[in-house]
Amino acid sequence: MCPTVWFYLAEIYRLQEANTWPTLSMIADAMGVSLQAASRMVRRMAENGYIRHEPYQGVQLTPEGEAIALHVIRRHRILEAYMVSVMRFGWDEVHDMVELLERGVDERVIERMDEMAGFPRRCPHGEPIPTKEGVMPVIEDKPLADWPERAPAQVSRVKTHDPEKLRYLASVRLVPGMPVTVVARSPFNGPVHLEAGSERLVLGNELAGELYVEHPSTS
């Protein structure tokens, strides 16, 4: 199988998490290609049985396509975890670096990296790592922007790969595992006021929508 197909399938899986039927334009945007290029690849994947394509609705992974997508996502997140925990790169650096590296890394190397990183269950950004058997762990979290006020929470994952945003979040310690409490929200999609540890912070609504939190007892 062409490695490019792997990454299309993985991206479709990620898109399906937010939208049951990702559209052709969503896939093209996520992959950074033209609509024509995405259309050709979608047709090819449908012919090979990796996806279902419903015109004017979108695409869905078949069980075979989902198994490949989860394998690719597992490799990517293990590489990120290894590069942060063992090689000491910043969490703001590794996503793009891994995208350049992952195509050529042998499966035996991935498994050794997993071992050396301590068999992590999540990547540095808090995303769950699928098991070897192709099972994606379920995480019950929601955006900080939607979390109830005064309800205990902790940072679960960060849904952005923007290096500047990641560096800022790290500078104020809004990283996976950090306890947080929403104190107040400004009206009309205004900023979110919160306590993080002993600090008082104000986050814009956009960034608060990319910072996911969960009940402290879930991790």
- 188 within a domain of the structure (yes/no): yes
Structure tokens given for 131: 């098991």
> Residue 72: its pLDDT value, please?
95
- Domain of residue 28, CATH code: 1.10.10.10
Residue 32 lies inside a defined structural domain of this protein: yes
Q: How many domains does the chain have?
A: 2
Q: Does residue 118 sit within a domain?
A: no
Residue 52 belongs to a domain: yes
Element (DSSP H or E) covering residue 8: helix 3-18
Query: Alpha-carbon distance 186 to 188, whole Å?
Result: 7
Q: Which residue stretches of the chain have pLDDT < 50?
A: none
Q: Which domain holds residue 177?
A: 142-218
pLDDT of residue 53: 93
* b/e per residue 181-204 (b: at least 16 CB within 10 A): bbeebeeeeebbbbebeeeebebe
- Partnered with residue 127 across adjacent β-strands are none
Q: Dihedral sign for Cα 6, 7, 9, 10, please.
A: positive
Residue 184 domain flag: yes
Is 44 contained in some domain? yes
pLDDT at position 189: 85
Residue 134 domain-assigned? no
The answer as to whether 133 is a domain residue is no
- Give dist(CA 205, CA 190) in Å, integer: 6
Domain boundary among 61, 82, 101: 61
The whole-number pLDDT of residue 218 equals 56
